[in-house]
Amino acid sequence: MGTTGGDREKLYKTVEEADMYALIAPNMCKQIVALQATLKTMSESYPGAFGNYSLEITESHQSGKADTSGTAKALLESFNIMKGGTPLNVEEITKLREREEQIAFGVPEDSLKGHAWHTYTLKSADGSVMFQFKHNVNGRRTYAEGVVDAVNFLATKITQASDKKIFDMIDVLKSGKMRD
């Protein structure tokens, strides 16, 4: 189940009570999940490494997406730990949903109906140093590829009668058994 919406606790509880196997993940793109995991580890290992840096997050998705990106929210937590000080709030994430602003951000016109472009910018207090992290997805192919790997992974776990029954995309990545 790939979703950022809904009641996550209720979802887990429902799956556990049904004694089913499931893979639950807010993002099915393996590379973005790997980036999230890496930045989480970095924030745990080096809290405050970007002390006194400002943080700006801009994300662009198709016009029909009403909420703030779950990926942007997840990475916000890691960046806030690394920068310390006053945290950036979810409400301060810049969401681009209008055609003109998306094109100005660099989104190709043929991807306006399905894209996920994110830029995370950390700037030193005096402006002399800037770090940017970006991930730009056009279309939905990378998510579909992640779903295929997730289904194959889960099928293997079911066949093996794994004691663990609820998995996520980190489990898929750690298995190392993904399609090329």
- Lowest mean pLDDT across 4-18, 35-49, 111-125: 4-18
* Cα pseudo-dihedral 165, 168, 171, 177, rounded to 10: 100
Write the pLDDT tens digit of every residue in 60-79: 999 999 889 889 998 999 99
Catalytic: 115?
Answer: no
Residue reference for tokens 């393996």:
30
Average pLDDT over residues 97-105: 97
* 37-51, 63-77, 87-101, 144-158: the lowest-pLDDT one: 63-77
Considering the candidates 40, 65, 73, 123, report the single residue annotated as catalytic: 65
**Has 65 been annotated as catalytic?**
yes
Q: What would the mean pLDDT of 20-36 be, rounded to a whole number?
A: 92
Instruction: Out of 30, 61, 95, 118, pick the active-site residue.
Output: 61
